[in-house]
């Protein structure tokens, strides 16, 4: 069973590189890719991933505020 991953980064090149890196492995399944904090919170709530790769500097909620919100959930 692959590790379910949500990837969050506001830089398209970084997000694309992370997606490519994980997609090339049978060990990971990308369940969502997000470019801002709000979308990341929603994706984690919907998909309940095993792993969240999170950029600390994003619009709509930086990584630390996203973590705080998810922890409250």
Residues 44-70 have a mean pLDDT of 92
Q: What confidence score (pLDDT) does residue 73 get?
A: 86
Residues in the chain: 73
pLDDT band at 63 (very low <50, low <70, confident <90, very high): confident
Q: Domains, the chain, ranges and CATH?
A: 3-72 (3.40.50.2300)
The pTM of the full predicted model, rounded to 2 decimals, is 0.91
Partners of 64 in beta bridges: none
- Going by the DSSP 8-state scheme, the letter that residue 3 receives in this structure is E
DSSP 8-69: E-S-HHHHHHHHHHHHT-TTEEEEEEESSHHHHHHHHHHH--SEEEE-SS-TTS-HHHHHHH
- Answer whether residue 33 shows pLDDT above 90: yes
Q: Which residues pair with 28 in a beta bridge?
A: 3
């Amino acid at each position: 069973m692959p590790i379910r991953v949500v990837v969050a980064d506001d830089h398209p090149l970084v997000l694309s590189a992370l997606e490519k890196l994980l997609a090339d492995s049978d060990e990971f399944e990308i369940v969502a890719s997000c470019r801002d904090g709000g979308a990341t919170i929603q994706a984690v709530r919907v998909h309940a991933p095993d792993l969240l790769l999170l950029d600390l500097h994003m619009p709509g909620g930086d990584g630390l505020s996203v973590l705080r919100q998810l922890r409250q959930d």
